[in-house]
């Protein structure tokens, strides 16, 4: 077991089992003592000597013992989908945490999401409660950072890695709109480095975090087909047809893709510029896609080089 050598203690709200949480653990563990609050045990946390607090963020009422000796709080807790009541309960729990932390001046790093189309910002509980908590953190009086990463990639992600698996499995892949929407994916490990920097020196500001290159959506899917050794074949859908397909999948209980995520993709607002909050180069997505493709097909695939930037 690796025992972190640093004296600083960070409270990780939401745990180290998710896509970003795993990257945050690896970034913080060498120089911070990590206390992680979430409901289910995570093997990697145990390996890194993390102090696990088994609790439900939405239900916890007394945060003082959890915040004892903590020098920074990092919140990763949120849901992708659910009824309004689910987000309200989570918001209430996080607000209790924020009030307890701000009362002692503990910095809070809130991981949020980039701006979305206006009708989603005002009509989707996923966003309305997240923005409400963002605002409370910014106005709370304690040191803070609000980080808004665009689409993240890492092994096990629900976007690019999932797309590769679907392209390998099925003869055609749905193309939402004309495929010209732009994305600037950012590695979860790069976001984790930004979080650690913000926890060490809170900027009292909001940072939008984009990856190093903006790509057209169609360019990324074409590359995935090529890496898997398949000819690109698409089921092209209009924007309204794309939303209807996602809504149908959602109605049948699929968590692969939600209707609001398709709307967000089609809005062409996810190509954020490279983050100014990091030192050193950011990871491009092409090497990640190649490694994931090799893992799926079980053999070496050609290095097809960098894609053209469409930023």
Q: What is the pLDDT of residues 105-132, one digit of tens each?
A: 999 999 999 999 999 999 999 999 999 9
What is the Cα–Cα distance from 197 to 199, expressed in whole angstroms? 5
Mean pLDDT of 239-249: 96
Sequence-separated (6 or more) residues with CB below 8 Å from residue 39: 15, 54, 55, 56
Both tokens assigned to 86: 């689910």
* pLDDT at residue 2 tops 70: no
Residues of the chain with CATH 3.90.25: 160-182+213-297
Residue 9 belongs to what H/E stretch?
A: strand 8-13
- Select from 185, 176, 118 the least CA-distant residue to 151: 185
pTM of the model: 0.94
What is the Cα–Cα distance from 98 to 246, expressed in whole angstroms? 35
- The whole-number pLDDT of residue 275 equals 78
Mean pLDDT of 25-44: 93
> Average per-residue pLDDT in the chain?
94
What is the Cα–Cα distance from 17 to 63, expressed in whole angstroms? 21
Residues of the chain with CATH 3.40.50.720: 8-142
pLDDT bracket for residue 4 (50, 70, 90): very low
227 near 251, Cβ under 8 Å?
no
* pLDDT at residue 74 tops 50: yes
Sequence-separated (6 or more) residues with CB below 8 Å from residue 12: 21, 24, 25, 28, 34, 35, 36, 37, 50, 74, 76
State whether residue 242 is helix, strand or coil.
helix
Give the gyration radius of the chain's Cα atoms: 20
Q: What is the pLDDT of residues 153-182, one digit of tens each?
A: 999 898 899 999 999 999 999 999 999 999
What is the Cα–Cα distance from 124 to 192, expressed in whole angstroms? 27
What is the Cα–Cα distance from 311 to 309, expressed in whole angstroms? 6
The CATH class given to the 8-142 domain equals alpha beta
- The whole-number pLDDT of residue 3 equals 40
115 near 121, Cβ under 8 Å?
yes
Residue 183 belongs to what H/E stretch?
A: strand 182-183
- The whole-number pLDDT of residue 6 equals 56
Write phi, then psi, for 115 (nearest 5 degrees). -60, 140
- The whole-number pLDDT of residue 7 equals 75
What is the Cα–Cα distance from 278 to 195, expressed in whole angstroms? 10
201 near 143, Cβ under 8 Å?
no
Q: What is the pLDDT of residues 273-293, one digit of tens each?
A: 987 767 789 999 999 999 999
Mean pLDDT of 139-157: 95
Q: Which CATH architecture has domain 160-182+213-297?
A: Alpha-Beta Complex (3.90)
Buried b (16+ CB within 10 A) or exposed e, 79-110: eeeeeeeebebbbbbbebbbebbbeeebbbbb
Better-scored residue on pLDDT, 6 or 171? 171
């Amino acid at each position: 077991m690796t025992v972190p050598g640093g004296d600083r203690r960070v409270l990780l709200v939401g745990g180290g089992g998710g896509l970003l949480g795993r990257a945050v653990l690896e970034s913080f563990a060498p120089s911070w003592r990590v206390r992680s609050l979430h409901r289910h045990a995570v093997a990697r946390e145990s390996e890194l000597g993390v102090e696990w607090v088994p609790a439900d963020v939405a239900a916890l009422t007394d945060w003082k013992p959890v915040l004892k000796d903590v020098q920074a709080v990092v919140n990763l807790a949120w849901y992708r989908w659910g009824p309004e009541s689910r987000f309200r309960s989570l918001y209430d729990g996080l607000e209790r945490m924020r009030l307890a932390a701000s009362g002692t001046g503990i910095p809070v790093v809130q991981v949020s999401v980039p701006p979305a189309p206006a009708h989603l910002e005002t009509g989707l509980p996923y966003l309305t409660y997240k923005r409400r908590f963002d605002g409370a953190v910014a106005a709370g009086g304690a040191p803070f950072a609000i980080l808004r990463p665009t689409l993240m990639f890492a092994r096990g992600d629900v976007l690019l890695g999932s797309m590769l698996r679907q392209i390998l499995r099925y003869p055609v892949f749905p193309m939402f709109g004309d495929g010209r929407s732009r994305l600037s994916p950012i590695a979860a490990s790069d976001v984790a480095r930004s979080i650690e920097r913000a926890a060490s020196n809170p900027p009292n500001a909001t940072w939008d975090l984009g990856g190093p290159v903006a790509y057209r959506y169609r360019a990324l899917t074409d590359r995935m087909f090529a890496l898997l050794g398949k000819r690109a074949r698409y089921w092209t859908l209009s924007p309204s047809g794309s939303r209807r397909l996602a809504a149908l999948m959602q109605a049948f209980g699929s968590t692969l893709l939600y209707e609001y995520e398709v709307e967000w993709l089609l809005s062409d607002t996810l190509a954020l510029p490279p983050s100014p909050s990091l030192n050193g180069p950011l990871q491009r997505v092409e090497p990640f896609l190649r490694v994931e493709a090799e893992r799926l097909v079980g053999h070496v695939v050609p290095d097809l080089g960098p894609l053209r930037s469409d930023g």
